[in-house]
Structure 1
Amino acid sequence: MSVIPFLLYVIVTSITPGPNNIMAMAIANKYGFKRSLNFVYGVATGFLLLMLLCSYFTFSLYSYIPKIKFAMSILGSLYMLYLSFKIMKSALHKNDKDDKDNNDGRWNSFFSGMMLQFINFKVILYGITAISSFIIPFYTSHISLILFSFFLAFVGLAATSCWAVFGALFQKFLFKYEKHFNIFMGILLIYSAISLHL
């Protein structure tokens, strides 16, 4: 396994803006970090369940259709390239106070954080890409799939927690340097995509 490209992909995809991170930041900004933890733990739990599902779904595909490995690595690379350009062009939505006031309360719970994962297209593609491109070509035992699922979920928890801290403390700083941050993350993701085929 190419460890550095794998870690870059996992960290960049987890730490860049997405539904989990934006919601965690908005909730922590409104209610404080401690009160956002139910949502953050819900995200981590849902993330773990989804990574386990992605692991076994991808493992089943590889077991029954061995020729799909090459196609999955190409699709994974293309998705990473697409995601890198989306990240470099993306902008955080500036605080829309009315929208925040109307929506954060109902989202600030363990259950909503967990269920968000099952409608979060970014997380589903993230799991399938990480597992099909970096893990299953090298590790196929049940214990490996479970441990990697826990690792991916842990990184997701760390990233969402960071955004909650940003929401509680540093939101203005994050907005100020958002473009530079996104460009740097996008370049790291392009490197990960290219290194899969070197």
Structure 2
Amino acid sequence: MFIVPLLTYAIVASFTPGPNNIISMTNARNHGFRKTLQFIGGVAAGCLVIMLLSSYFNLVLYQFIPKIQFVMNIIGCLYMLYLAVKIIRSQPQERGDKEEGFNSFFFGFIFQFINPKVILYGITAISTFVIPFYSSHAHLALFSVILTLVGLCANMTWALCGSLFQSLLSRYERPFNILMGLLLIYSAFSVFTVS
């Protein structure tokens, strides 16, 4: 069933360290969880718009160029493998940003339109795991909401954990990255088993 690989991809792509998660964690550490909710709300709103745009972009491509599915699956698979290698090989980073301007709804919303991780997340997830099975407006909206909710859960988790999660990651970052990378490799190869 396609939902397991879709959710695996969505969880790995959303919960691994990325700009939204790092900023959420840093904002919660610096300003508190409640004040960080405005940024997380902006991220969720922007992410939903990106998911909907990705859905209809992919649908148009599939309707007008039916043979593009295989090519898009290859591109999506290669991108996921690239992400997996990048995650597995990543080194610990400094996460000490204390910028006030990063903690607003507006910044969270606008940031999604220049965040390549979110854009590629939407295009890859929708083209690989949704469009081959569903193309109605209701399904595209539903899966856009599901993908956004997974991302929202990731942001909330990183914000809730704040400095606790940061200290755990500093001790266990390497095994965590290897596990996330291996799960992403599973998602990449499952592209060809669900098509």
Query: What TM-score, normalized by structure 1, do the two folds share?
Result: 0.94
Residue by residue, what CA displacement relative to the aligned partner does 1:96-153 show, whole Å, maximum 9, x if unpaired? 3xxx23xx20111001001110000011011000000000000000000000000100
Structure 1 position 8, deviation (Å): 0.6
Structure 2 gaps, min length 5: none
Kept after mapping to 2: 8 A contact 1:17/1:92: no
Residue by residue, what CA displacement relative to the aligned partner does 1:26-64 show, whole Å, maximum 9, x if unpaired? 111111111111001110010001100000001001011
Residue 24 of structure 2: aligned partner: 24
Indicate the percent of aligned positions where both proteins have the same amino acid: 55
Matched position secondary structure for 2:112:
helix
Matched position secondary structure for 2:29:
helix
Q: How does 1:89-104 map to 2 (within 5 A)?
A: 89-96=89-96, 100-101=97-98, 104=99
- For 1:95 and 1:11, the matched residues in 2 are separated by 22
Kept after mapping to 2: 8 A contact 1:38/1:109: yes
- For 2:47 and 2:17, the matched residues in 1 are separated by 16
Kept after mapping to 2: 8 A contact 1:166/1:174: no
Is 1:157 paired with 2:144? Answer: no
1:107 alignment partner, one of 77, 80, 102: 102
Kept after mapping to 2: 8 A contact 1:20/1:43: yes
Kept after mapping to 2: 8 A contact 1:33/1:168: no
Is 1:3 paired with 2:7? Answer: no
Residue 13 of structure 2: aligned partner: 13
The count of aligned residue pairs is: 193
Residue 75 of structure 2: aligned partner: 75
Kept after mapping to 2: 8 A contact 1:61/1:68: yes
Kept after mapping to 1: 8 A contact 2:24/2:156: yes
Q: How does 1:16-55 map to 2 (within 5 A)?
A: 16-55=16-55
**In angstroms, what is the RMSD of aligned CA positions?**
1.2
Structure 1 position 91, deviation (Å): 3.2
Structure 1 gaps, min length 5: none
Residue 141 of structure 2: aligned partner: 146
2:172 alignment partner, one of 169, 177, 182: 177
Matched position secondary structure for 1:119:
coil
